[in-house]
Amino acid sequence: MKNNGGQKAEGAWIPRLNQTIRTGVDKLQSLYHAARVNVFGHKKLVMILAALSAVVLIVVATTLLTREEARVAEHGEATHDAHEGEQIVRLHDEELEEFGIAVDTAGPGTLTVQREFPGEITPNYDRLAHVVARVSGVVRKVYKSLGDSVRAGETLAVLDSRDLADAKAAYLAALKRVEIARVNAQREEELWKKKISPQVDYLEAKKAFDEANIELKSAEQKLHALGFSEKNLSVLPSRPDATFTRYKLKAPFTGTVIERHIVLGEAVKEESEVFVVADLGTVWVDISVYPKDLSSIRAGQDVVIKVGDDVPDVTGKIAYVGPVLGETTRTALARMILQNPDRKLLPGM
């Protein structure tokens, strides 16, 4: 209140100054009109106009000063009122803990930044196998269906294959030729050493033996390519002819049948995919990373996978960040490898 009264006293001279200025302006205007009649009073007219301009400047300055004082006075009152309304809220330790409020000294620290990206669970393609028919044939038996668990080496289906029978027959024929050529070469060697037969006969017999061995190796390799082991080959001569056409499709490792493309009685071509087996004990999570976020994503970072559908959140680390963008998605690939012992993480989630 004291400051407000002083401001009113200091501004009391302003109305008197305004009245004096108006009187001076009136006199100057009279002189101006009189000077217009006097042609020879040009210098006097200029002086009068200069004086008039000075008076106008005084009036403008006075008006601006008055407005500024009023604004400052108003601002001071408003500021004073605002400070009068301030309230300080103090919380006890129990209240800070209840509302989760933490107080600490300002200083350098680490901020955790969270980002969300779309992703998809896929099979671990390092543990996925396409089971193909290595020979053509007709499906005689199917033992496994979609979703079935299989063990390594377990039979999935059986084909009747003429191509397999031909391969087995070629192997057995080559095996017999080798035996005959071996006996013949041994006899010719003995006759040559006894000077009974010429050396050329021995050399020809030895050459025939070598050629028979080459044919046998070729027949063996063909059966190995069809999945036959050395043990299978060793028992092949004692097997009945009825099994010559039987070709077994077997699981390459323990896993789950996730695809089946075979039915009973179907004619299957060579290299046709008939089953897909996956080991779902581990799965991949492929994450789509936008280009603007690539600089902050790297291998080893922690990730929380939110699957939903009553599946608890899963944590893991990024194992790989791709160096290129997808042609259609325009995103980079970040991949996680997760253990899946309970098989709750299903490909496609």
CA distances from 3 to 20, 68, 173, 324 (A): 28, 16, 125, 72
Give the integer Cα–Cα distance in Å for 131 and 251. 7
Q: How confident is the model at residue 321 (pLDDT cuts 50, 70, 90)?
A: very high
Q: How confident is the model at residue 276 (pLDDT cuts 50, 70, 90)?
A: very high
Neighbours of 159 (CB within 10 A): 25
The pLDDT tens digits of the residues spanning 53-100 come to 444 444 444 443 444 444 444 544 444 454 455 567 777 788 777 777
| Average pLDDT of the chain, as a whole number | 78
Give the integer Cα–Cα distance in Å for 17 and 320. 85
Task: Return the structure tokens found at 302.
Answer: 């922690």
Neighbours of 322 (CB within 10 A): 15
CA distances from 259 to 113, 146, 148, 262, 306 (A): 41, 6, 10, 10, 27
Burial of 52 (C-beta count, 10 Å sphere; 0-12/13-18/19+): middle
Q: Hey, which bits of the chain come out as E strands?
A: 119-123, 128-133, 137-142, 149-150, 155-160, 246-250, 255-260, 267-268, 272-278, 282-289, 302-305, 314-325, 332-339
What pLDDT was estimated at residue 16? 52
pLDDT at 281 over 70: yes
Q: Where are the domains of the chain?
A: 2-84, 162-244, 281-339
User: With contact defined as beta carbons under 8 Å apart, do 285 and 119 qualify?
Assistant: yes
Task: Return the structure tokens found at 137.
Answer: 């044939």
Neighbours of 49 (CB within 10 A): 13
Give the integer Cα–Cα distance in Å for 321 and 330. 14
Q: Does 2.40.30.170 match the CATH number of domain 281-339? A: yes
What pLDDT was estimated at residue 19? 57
What pLDDT was estimated at residue 179? 92
Give the 3-state secondary structure of residue 241: helix
Is this structure's pTM higher than 0.85? no
Query: Angle of helix 2-10 relative to helix 42-84, nearest 10 degrees?
Result: 170
The pLDDT tens digits of the residues spanning 225-252 come to 888 888 888 888 887 666 778 999 999 9
The pLDDT tens digits of the residues spanning 200-213 come to 888 898 999 999 99
Average pLDDT, integer, range 274-284: 95
One DSSP character per residue, 107-142 reads ------------EEEEE-GGGEEEEEESS-EEEEEE
Task: Return the structure tokens found at 228.
Answer: 């036959």
3-state helix, strand, coil in the chain (%, to 5): 45, 25, 30
Task: Return the structure tokens found at 190.
Answer: 């003995």
